[in-house]
Amino acid sequence: MSHDTVGIAVAQFAPSASREGNLVDVSDAARTAASRGARVVVFPEYSSYFVDPFDSSLAENAEDLDGPFVQALTALASELDIVVVAGLVERADDGRRVRNAVVAVGADGIGAVYRKLHLYDAFGQRESDWVEPGEIAPPQTFEVDGLRFGLMTCYDLRFPEVGRTLADAAVDVALVPAEWVRGPLKEHHWKTLLTARAIENTFFVAAADHPPPLGVGHSMIVDPQGVTLAQVGTATDVAVAHVDPAAIARVRRVNPALELRRYRVTPR
């Protein structure tokens, strides 16, 4: 593999109500990804703890940013020389609701934190009953091997403004931990929106989902022209793509859509 490429992995697994079991699964998948040359490994939303349907155990199993989940990710990142990106059920201030956070963790600890902006109060679900929305803030980004990464979560995919704010922050790769709930046409929406975010922003997108029966699976890495570079089907598995940073500049020379925009994103 060329030294100019950067290995990005999406790790698809089904987080459970066992915090210890989730860490075992994360560790196993991270080792597989690193052995295949990945430098950044993306895990699903709610990787630290998940229960369906949500109940009070969510808050009872929430952790702080310096809690055992992040500590374990830091040790893993240090051992394998990778950055781990994963969904964390973060403790909130009121003790009843939690924060739906994504942490990017390297050998030195947390490099970026994102808290889900758009909560899933749709398709018969009410995430806001259990989760507090993230504050609107400038994107936190991190860099690995010359590529700049930014974060969004699951339902945020349906709001193109989130991807635009990442593009405005000069992000090269948008990372999308998700629990994309199964249902009629949901797999079609997932693939279409991931592809659209990549095409319209001319950047890479790497998304990790829960497998069926709760998620749609199909974790994937998409290039700036919307081509799927690597994908998991419906199994628990890891997909790795070795992306070429120069591809972004090549695509933008031909398709300068970001430069030709006549609108900016402003918070509501």
CB 27 within 8 A of CB 74: no
Structure tokens at 71: 């500590």
Phi, psi (deg, nearest 5) at residue 56: -65, -15
Phi, psi (deg, nearest 5) at residue 210: -75, 145
Between CA 17 and CA 211 the distance in angstroms is 16
Between CA 45 and CA 120 the distance in angstroms is 12
Is position 127 annotated as part of the catalytic site? Answer: no
CB 90 within 8 A of CB 57: no
Phi, psi (deg, nearest 5) at residue 216: -90, -10
Residue type, 22: N
Question: Prior bond to 53 cis, omega within 30?
Answer: yes
Region of residue 139 (phi > 0: left; psi between -120 and 50: alpha; otherwise: beta): beta
CB 44 within 8 A of CB 13: yes
Catalytic site residue from 63, 116, 127, 132? 116
Phi, psi (deg, nearest 5) at residue 126: -140, 80
CB 267 within 8 A of CB 139: no
Between CA 205 and CA 153 the distance in angstroms is 12
Is position 135 annotated as part of the catalytic site? Answer: no
Catalytic site residue from 90, 127, 132, 154? 154
Residue type, 172: D
Is position 179 annotated as part of the catalytic site? Answer: no
Between CA 180 and CA 155 the distance in angstroms is 8
Active site residues: 45, 116, 154
